[in-house]
């Protein structure tokens, strides 16, 4: 980003220098304004890009944590089921042993599905799927913002070059590319794309 802004500043400085020496044409001033607008759009698009990246990382960590919690639940459920199996396989079971087996089976069932607390394996799988979807959406938005910022950087370079070379076609190309990229970033930010 700093290279692009530096290039934009150099282009604007060239336009200012030309204005001080009287050899600036009105189109150079307009191009300088275009560069400033493109730089502002670039800064906003990069803010969106960073926000999407942060959201992606946050959701990624949440997905990882949820699956780790799920793995722990499954291990505990297996331990309860195994303990119940061992007690059931013992000879000469009394009523107390039978009650322990029932408690262990009930606890294993609660580990599998606990709608009351919302943290059974079934609920954790659903939560992980939701977080994964949110994570993937943010990852997609991040890449869309990357495309927009790349196009804005190219537009700034084209506009800067047009000030130096005085080739109006470059200014037009920069305006079209930059306007399209800014619109694209806006559509990404609003969730349309």
With the C-alpha atoms ordered 111, 113, 114, 118, is the resulting torsion angle positive or negative? positive
pLDDT tens digits, residue range 28-71?
Answer: 888 889 999 999 999 999 999 999 999 999 999 999 999 999 99
pLDDT tens digits, 6-38:
665 666 666 566 556 555 577 788 888 999 999
Average pLDDT over residues 157-178: 91
Number of structural domains the chain divides into: 1
pLDDT, one tens digit per residue, over 128-160 is 999 999 999 999 999 999 999 999 999 999 999
* CA–CA dist 130, 127 (Å, integer): 5
Residue 1 has pLDDT above 70, yes or no: no
Between CA 179 and CA 13 the distance in angstroms is: 23
∠ CA 166-38-23, nearest 5°, is 30
Residues 6+ apart with CB under 8 A from 56: 135, 138, 139, 142
Residue 68 domain boundaries = 2-189
pLDDT surpasses 80 at 162? yes
> pTM of the predicted model, to two decimals?
0.71
- Residue 92 backbone zone (phi > 0: left; psi -120 to 50: alpha; other: beta): left
Provide the 10 A C-beta neighbour count for residue 98: 12
134: number of Cβ within 10 Å? 17
Looking up residue 76, the CATH number of its domain turns out to be 1.10.287
The 3 state secondary structure assigned to the chain is: CHHHHHHHHHHHHHHHHHHHCCCCCHHHHHHHHHHHHHHHHHHHHHHHHHHHHHHHHHHHHHHHHHHHHHHHHHHHHHHHHHHHHHHHHCCCCCHHHHHHHHHHHHHHHHHHCCCCCCCCHHHHHHHHHHHHHHHHHHHHHHHHHHHHHHHHHHHHHHHHHHHHHCCHHHHHHHHHHHHHHHHHHHHHHCCCC
pLDDT at 29: 84
What band does 119 get if pLDDT is binned at 50, 70 and 90?
confident
């Amino acid at each position: 980003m700093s290279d692009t802004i530096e290039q934009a500043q150099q282009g604007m400085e060239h336009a200012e220098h030309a204005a001080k020496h009287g050899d600036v044409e009105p189109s150079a001033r307009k191009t300088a304004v275009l560069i400033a607008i493109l730089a502002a759009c670039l800064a906003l698009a990069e803010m969106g890009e960073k926000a999407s990246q942060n959201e992606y990382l946050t959701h990624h960590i949440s997905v990882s944590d949820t699956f780790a919690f799920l793995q722990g639940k499954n291990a505990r459920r297996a331990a309860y089921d195994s303990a119940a199996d061992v007690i059931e396989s013992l000879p000469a079971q009394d009523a107390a042993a039978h009650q322990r087996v029932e408690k262990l089976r009930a606890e294993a069932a609660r580990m599998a599905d606990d709608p009351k607390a919302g943290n059974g394996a079934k609920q954790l799988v659903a939560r992980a799927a939701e977080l994964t979807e949110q994570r993937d959406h943010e990852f997609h938005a991040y890449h869309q913002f990357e495309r927009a910022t790349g196009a804005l950087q190219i537009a700034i370079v084209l506009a800067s070059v047009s000030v130096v070379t005085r080739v109006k076609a470059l200014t037009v190309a920069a305006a079209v590319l930059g306007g399209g990229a800014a619109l694209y970033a806006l559509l990404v930010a609003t969730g349309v794309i």
